[in-house]
């Protein structure tokens, strides 16, 4: 219902490792994303045609921007969406930023009946062990999670693994996969509906690009 082409569509994107894959996906989708990858410190970047405006955020913050409506669309890891249950549309699984949420321990370690688990994913870890009848003590840590089993902070960790190199280098091994993770295009439900024509244009192009990549 809002007049098209008036304000740019605002897309919250994660700074860091996913961004280059995202720029490639936009290129394949034929969407101009301007200087999204420019090597400077600007947190707001516009597409060349002025129709899109990108906000560069810490990955965990993307859903918050979108849920409050400070951005119309966003690109977020499914791990964050599962952990914090946002009221967002999760419109396209983008196939980038692929990794797995796993349980890992020191090599060959015996996990006690009531293990201590170090993780950033409190809800997902508690739900995973709870469903198996294991009363785990969840220890919240924000980073260097791999260090926890080596230093006696925890018996196991629940964390994201991309290639597994970090685990191996820290003498850890993967025990279970909790979920396969990739980046998801999310939308604020109200703003998506109010700017449906423009938002859907982006959604459909990205979906087509993801599908063609899957077939290739």
- Kindly list the residues in this chain that would bind another protein in the complex (CB under 8 A): 1-2, 63-64, 67-70, 83-93, 123, 184, 188-191, 193-194, 196, 200
Query: Which CB, 106 or 122, lies closer to another protein?
Result: 122
Minimum Å distance from CB 188 to another protein? 6
Residue closer to another protein (CB basis): 172 or 191: 191
Place of tokens 């091994």: 173
- For the bound state, the minimum distance from the C-beta of residue 145 to another protein, rounded and expressed in Å, comes to 19
Closer by beta carbon to another protein, 38 or else 197? 197
For another protein, the closer of residues 70 and 111 by Cβ is 70
Distance CA(104)–CA(19), nearest Å, equals 27
Q: How do 52-57 and 44-46 pair as beta strands?
A: antiparallel
Taking the complex as a whole, the smallest distance from the CB of residue 53 to another protein amounts, in Å, to: 16
Q: State which H helix or E strand residue 163 sits in.
A: none
Rounded CA-CA distance 67/63 in Å is 6
User: Are the CB atoms for 140 and 129 separated by under 8 Å?
Assistant: no
Cα–Cα distance, 202 to 209 (Å, whole number)? 11
Q: What is the DSSP string of 109-171?
A: PPPPSS-EEEES-HHHHHHHHHHTT--PEEEE-SS-TTHHHHHTS-SEEEEEESSSHHHHHTT
- CB of residue 83 to another protein, shortest distance in Å: 8
Q: Which is nearer to another protein, 24 or 84 (CB)?
A: 84
Minimum distance from residue 39 beta carbon to another protein (Å): 31
């Amino acid at each position: 219902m809002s007049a098209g082409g008036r304000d740019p569509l605002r897309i919250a994107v994660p700074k860091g490792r996913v961004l280059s894959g995202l720029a490639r996906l936009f290129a394949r989708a034929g969407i101009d994303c301007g200087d999204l990858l420019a090597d400077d410190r600007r947190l707001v970047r516009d597409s060349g045609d002025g129709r899109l405006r990108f906000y560069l955020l810490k990955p965990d913050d993307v859903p918050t921007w979108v849920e409050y409506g400070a951005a119309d669309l966003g690109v977020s890891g499914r791990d964050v969406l599962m952990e914090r249950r946002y009221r967002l549309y999760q419109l396209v699984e983008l196939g980038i930023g692929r990794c797995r949420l796993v349980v890992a321990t020191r090599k060959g370690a015996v996990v006690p009946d009531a293990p201590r688990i170090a993780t950033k994913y409190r809800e997902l870890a508690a739900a995973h062990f709870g469903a198996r009848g294991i009363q785990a003590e969840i220890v919240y840590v924000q980073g260097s999670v791999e260090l926890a089993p080596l230093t006696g902070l925890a018996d196991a960790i629940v964390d994201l693994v991309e290639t597994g190199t970090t685990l191996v280098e820290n003498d850890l091994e993967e025990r279970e996969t909790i979920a396969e993770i990739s980046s998801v295009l999310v939308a604020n439900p109200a703003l998506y509906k109010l700017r449906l024509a423009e938002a859907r244009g982006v959604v459909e192009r990205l979906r087509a690009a993801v599908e063609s990549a899957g077939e290739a």
